[in-house]
């Protein structure tokens, strides 16, 4: 964010009004669907990934993708949490104190509202960029809303209005012009490949569900986390969700095994939430192991009940969210879980 006009960014009355409307407006089902295609992000430090995904998913404008936020952080700070500037900009998203006072919040729940905290900074960045994209889309300026929003983040929306778009290279030594150009050009390298690099053959509800879930390959496991619409934080019970003695699920944005399956098939087929319930809902359509097709559900049981579910991904592999500390991944079916626990498969 350019320090030239960063401190006066919120002085534009129209922007402030828009911000207030956006912060209180709930996401409609249409807007939630529009974020589904954002998928994941690649090439970012692991501590940034869940926050980037969450910040993009919280915005109703599909133009705000994880890749756009990642490219912007790269340009602002190179993913350095303690980054600073001579003009007082702080943290990975480079907020000056005046702007941080409006956009900053304790998003990570650690008791601090700190522009150097990754969760706080990325959340604030996402909220501001979401607002600016909304401003750009209603401005009638003839340019990509992403470019206009980036220019507003760097130079202030007043500069965008003054020049009728992205300020020219003659403005501020070309800082804003090149800021926008570099981010738009580098965004591609942060985009997770469609299907997470998994090649899915065929058409129909099974392959389609598998493709949808595969967008989140590399997303962390979060016990109890995830919804039919997006990854989310989870919770811990007496046995699950812990890592290194602390409750990891409550601060990890991701999926567990059954929420990933639920997400993949939603909304065309609204499966229940848990692995056991998903088996019960589909058990009237069993599939022999030799006849598995992409998108079929495979289940594991330890004798006291079904404890895990995944998608058959073809060629003897399964796509699943394994456990706390792991990411959504593709693994051989024989070793994804204990081989003796394999219980059977169904075709939703």
CA–CA distance, 51 with 109 (Å, rounded to integer): 13
β-strand 329-332 against 246-247: which pairing, if any? unpaired
Q: Is 244 left (phi over 0), alpha (psi -120 to 50) or beta?
A: left
Query: Two tokens at 334?
Result: 């024989």
CA–CA distance, 223 with 251 (Å, rounded to integer): 11
| Of 49, 63, 76, 191, catalytic | 76
Alpha-helix residue ranges (DSSP H) falling in the chain: 13-24, 29-34, 49-57, 66-77, 97-103, 118-138, 145-155, 157-163, 175-186, 205-214, 257-265, 275-282, 333-336
Judge residue 166's burial from the number of C-beta atoms within 10 Å of its C-beta, 0-12 exposed, 13-18 middle, 19 or more buried.
buried
- Residue bearing tokens 């056991």: 276
β-strand 286-287 against 297-301: which pairing, if any? unpaired
CA–CA distance, 216 with 35 (Å, rounded to integer): 13
Contact between 314 and 201 under an 8 Å Cβ cutoff? The reply is yes
Among this protein's residues, is 47 annotated catalytic?
A: no
Contact between 52 and 69 under an 8 Å Cβ cutoff? The reply is yes
Q: Which residues are annotated as catalytic? A: 76
């Amino acid at each position: 964010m350019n320090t030239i006009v960063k401190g006066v960014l919120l002085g534009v009355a129209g922007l402030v009004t828009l911000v207030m409307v956006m912060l209180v407006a709930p996401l409609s089902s249409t807007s939630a669907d529009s974020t589904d295609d954002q998928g994941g992000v690649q090439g970012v430090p692991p501590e940034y990934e869940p926050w980037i995904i969450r910040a993009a998913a919280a915005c109703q404008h599909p133009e705000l993708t994880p890749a756009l936020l990642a490219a912007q952080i790269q340009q602002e700070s190179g993913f350095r949490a303690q980054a600073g500037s001579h003009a007082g900009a702080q943290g990975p998203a480079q907020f000056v104190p005046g702007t941080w006072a409006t956009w900053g919040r304790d998003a990570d729940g650690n008791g601090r509202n700190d522009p150097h905290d990754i969760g706080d900074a990325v959340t604030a960045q996402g909220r501001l960029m979401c607002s600016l994209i909304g401003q750009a889309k209603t401005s009638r300026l003839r340019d990509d809303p992403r470019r206009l929003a980036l220019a507003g983040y760097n130079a202030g929306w007043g500069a965008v209005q003054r020049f009728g778009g992205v300020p020219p290279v003659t403005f501020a030594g070309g800082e804003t012009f090149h800021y926008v150009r570099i981010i738009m050009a580098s965004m591609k390298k942060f985009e997770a490949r469609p299907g997470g690099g998994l090649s899915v053959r065929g058409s129909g509800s099974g392959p389609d569900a598998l493709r949808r879930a595969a967008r989140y390959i590399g997303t962390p496991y979060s016990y109890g986390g995830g919804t039919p619409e997006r990854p989310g934080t989870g919770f811990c019970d007496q046995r699950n969700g812990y890592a290194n003695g602390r409750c990891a699920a409550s601060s990890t944005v991701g999926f567990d095994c059954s929420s990933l399956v639920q997400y993949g098939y939603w909304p065309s087929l609204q499966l229940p939430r848990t692995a056991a319930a998903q088996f019960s809902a589909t058990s009237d359509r069993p599939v022999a192991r030799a006849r598995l097709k992409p998108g079929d559900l495979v289940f594991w049981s330890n004798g006291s009940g079904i404890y895990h579910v995944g998608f058959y991904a073809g060629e003897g592999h399964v796509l699943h969210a394994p456990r706390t500390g792991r990411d959504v991944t593709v693994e051989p079916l024989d070793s994804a879980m204990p081989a003796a626990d394999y219980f059977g498969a169904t075709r939703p």
